[in-house]
Amino acid sequence: MINEIFNTTFITGLIGATMRMSTPIIFATLGEIITERSGVLNLGIEGTMLMGAMTGFLVTFTTGSLWAGVLAAALVGIILSLLMAFLSVHLGLSQHVSGLGITLFSTGLAMFIYRLYFGSPIVPPTVEPFRQVAIPFLSKIPVIGPSLFNQYVLTYLAWLLIPVISILLYKTKIGLKIRTVGENPFAADTVGVNVNLTRTLSLAAGGALIGIGGAFLTLAHQNMFLIDVVGGRGWVSIAMVIFGNWDPLKGAVGAVIFGFLDGLQLRLQGLGIQIPFHVFLMIPYIITIVALVGVSRRAAVPAGLLKPYRREEKGG
Amino acid sequence: MIGLKIIKRKPLPGWVKIIIPVVAVVITLIFSAVPILIAGGNLWKSYYYLFYGALGTRYNLLETFVKASPLIFTGLAVAFAFRAKFWNIGAEGQLLAGALLATWVGINFTGVPQFLLLPIVIISGFIGGGIWASIPAILKTKLKVDDVVSSLLLNYVMIHIMGTLLFGPLQQAGSSWPRSPGILEAARYPMLLARSRFHLGIPLAFLAVLIIWFINDKTVFGYQSKAVGVNIKAANFGGINTTSVILKTALISGGLAGLAGVGELCAIHYHLLMDISPGYGYSGIVIAMLGNLHPLGVVFASFFFSIVLVGAHTMSRMTGVPTYIAEVIQGMALIIMLISLLLTEYKIRVVRK
């Protein structure tokens, strides 16, 4: 058995699975980081991912275009995040409860629309999913080539987004605005930054990424929509934001570790190892909780997180 | 540029607080017309069958009580935790933990007479849920781990613990289905009304409502728990041992959720199943909010939800609107209730900037 685990086929497969399984978490984690950096905790993430997964699937199923599905998922993510912005930013309702409300609402909605469109078929309908695209030359490198450089376009995009969002947050004016609004909305307001607008746009941008993360699950990872397709990945992403201390790079590292555990679980199951598969499914969640224990004491929570901004309630 | 301006309003008279959930429910039902129409359902027929299906016959009415029982327990569980700002989103996992421990007792305590076994099963379910809820409470108070995230993630851990057991040591011999052996006859809740499933768990739920109401309003602990929720720093400064209060709040909250699981096990399914809860723990969050975190409000909201859940089946059969309409309505109800609550404290003005 040890030989089976340490041969190159297994390792190539494992790295590939890690890349795949971490993709939706990277998207959602990066989306949530942008949002939380602006001062809004979006607990609508789990439901938004599910709506993204469902919408992406539905649109691809009807139009036959995978990218139309991805685009639709991003749009749905934006719409749900705007609803979140209306409730938590503009009305100043509790971010915890508004977010949970959106998750419950969109979970119901996703299943409702799916049933409405497809009924209850015995065999779930499928689409022709995304195919892996090999990058010339690089994919020929032994072991890591076929796993790292023969991936879905969305996976490359997720990895590309890690530095892009880091730069956006730390090196651009927009990023400075987002961070200021999240750290000290009163100061931001004083220097003329529109706090609520910045938060709304951050939510929308984050929502688009979260929606795409959901769509990856039904258009690449699988080729069908199942009710538990997201299965807590949104919540895991929330945990990864904390694990990564609200930093895109560190958050992505967390996402990849989770992806690795998820991939390992899949690969070991594939070898027919006699451990109940539910034990494997449990491991990533337990390790996530343990990791949170490790980082929570030194967490650098954005100071404005969870607080609605009302100009007249300064310091209140 | 148009924006919203939120202005604090003068306190409204007390009756408004009571009327708000009712208004929210009515508005929710009005908004429900949108998904019904999209699904091509006839509006009046749909509403008629929604209510007829839940209240129209003796059996259906009692079924609405049957559905309300777990919802009252999870709603109370969440409301009690939220009141102390312990963000327990893990009622689903705590329900399962309670059902799991109760299953173990219910299978193995052979020879114990019913009058003794029933309390043991109930208490074990309470303890199971309580222990599971104490994990995020300990993580929060001792290690500063966010309670929302940890209690949520623990739901998935518990589902997979159940999966491991039900596909393994706890699987009924000879069954290919992931389910436990049946619980002992003596561990089953008695049915209280003939030709129905009106079981012991229903009066128990109402008893729990009264007990929590009493704890909230009449005990020192209830006062401390609320003080922690209002301002944990002030409570600490005022000499309250906030760590202990949060831990006890979590134990009671999780215990209540566990009792929802015991009811489903001992009165409905008699076996532990993977899908023993169709999301009662998550519904509990909405119910707690809709009930304004008050035990009586929880009862009201639970019945609204159970009417929608039970009625949706009849409605779906008669009009073809998918039963998931119930989940959509739940989500809408929460959002509408939040906005209604805001309107009791603030006025909203549309302003030009």
Q: What is the CATH number of the domain that holds A76?
A: 1.10.3470
Residue B99 has pLDDT above 90, yes or no: yes
User: Which of residues B276 and B350 earns the better pLDDT score?
Assistant: B276
In a domain? residue A86: yes
Examine the pLDDT at A135 and tell me if it is beyond 60: yes
Q: Is the pLDDT of residue A299 over 90?
A: no
Mean pLDDT across chain B, nearest whole number? Answer: 93
Mean pLDDT of chain A: 89
Residue B5, pLDDT score: 77
Cβ contact B136:B151 at 8 Å? yes
Q: Is the CB of A300 inside 8 Å of chain B's CB atoms?
A: no
**How many domains is chain A partitioned into structurally?**
1
Examine residue A1 and state whether it is found in any structural domain, yes or no. Answer: no
pLDDT of residue A315: 44
Strands B2-8 and B346-352: antiparallel
What type of residue sits at position B204? Answer: L
Domain that holds residue B319: 2-352
Residue A6 placed within a domain:
no
- Does the structure show a pLDDT above 80 at B225? yes
Tokens encoding B198: 């009106």
pLDDT band at B299 (very low <50, low <70, confident <90, very high): very high
Percent of chain B with pLDDT over 70: 99
User: In this complex, do B342 and A93 lie within 8 Å of one another by their Cβ atoms?
Assistant: yes
Backbone Cα Rg of chain A: 20
The total number of structural domains in chain B stands at 1
Count the residues in chain A.
Answer: 316
At residue A177, the 3 state secondary structure works out as: helix
Residue of A nearest to B3 (CA): A90
Contact by Cβ (8 Å): A47, A102: yes
Q: What is the rounded average pLDDT of the residues B14-24?
A: 84
Hey, what are B81's tokens? 């935790």
pLDDT band at residue A75 using 50, 70 and 90 as cut-offs: very high
At residue A3, the pLDDT reads: 65
Mutation target for A interface from B156, B171, B287, B347: give the one with most A CBs within 10 A. Answer: B156
Q: In a 10 Å sphere around its CB, with 0-12 CB exposed, 13-18 middle and 19+ buried, how is residue A113 labelled?
A: buried
User: Worst-scoring range by mean pLDDT, A2-11, B91-100, B103-112, B152-161?
Assistant: A2-11
Does ipTM top 0.85? yes
Distance of alpha carbon B171 from alpha carbon A272, whole angstroms: 20
Lowest average pLDDT, out of A269-273, B111-115, B206-210, goes to A269-273
Mean pLDDT of all residues in A236-258: 92
**pLDDT over 70 at B289, yes or no:** yes
Q: Which of B160, B309, B341 should one mutate to test binding to chain A, selecting the residue with the greatest count of A CBs within 10 A?
A: B160
Q: What percent of chain A has pLDDT over 90?
A: 59
Q: What is the pLDDT of residue A140?
A: 80
pLDDT at A273: 66
In-domain check, residue A147: yes
Range of the domain at A32: 12-299
Residue B329 has pLDDT above 80, yes or no: yes
- The band of A5, judged by pLDDT with boundaries at 50, 70 and 90, is low
In the predicted structure, residue A107 carries a pLDDT above the cut 80: yes
Residue A304 belongs to a domain: no
Looking at CA atoms only, how far is residue A23 from chain B in angstroms?
20
Give Cβ neighbours of residue B221 (< 8 Å, ≥ 6 apart). B215, B245, B248
In chain A, which residue's Cα lies nearest the Cα of B40? A116
Helices (H), A66-94: 66-84
pLDDT value, residue A1: 55
Q: What percent of chain B has pLDDT over 90?
A: 77
How many alpha carbons fall within 13 Å on the CB side of residue B295?
17
- Cβ of residue A310 closer than 8 Å to a chain B Cβ: yes
Q: What residues of B are in contact with residue A235 (Cβ under 8 Å)?
A: 149, 152-153, 156
Q: Is residue B1 very low, low, confident or very high in pLDDT (cuts 50, 70, 90)?
A: low
CB–CB of A112 and B327 under 8 A?
yes
Residue A242 lies in a domain: yes
Mean pLDDT computed over B59-75: 97
Residue A316 reports pLDDT greater than 50: no
- What mean pLDDT is predicted for residues B80-86? 96
What distance separates the 2 farthest-apart alpha carbons in chain B? 76
B348 contacts in chain A (CB < 8 Å): 91
Quick one: which of B55, B57, B189 has its CA closest to B118? B189
State yes or no: pLDDT of A275 exceeds 80.
no
CATH number at residue B75: 1.10.3470
Strand-strand pairing, B2-8 and A150-151 = unpaired
pLDDT in tens, A162-212: 999 999 999 999 999 999 999 999 999 999 999 999 999 999 999 999 999
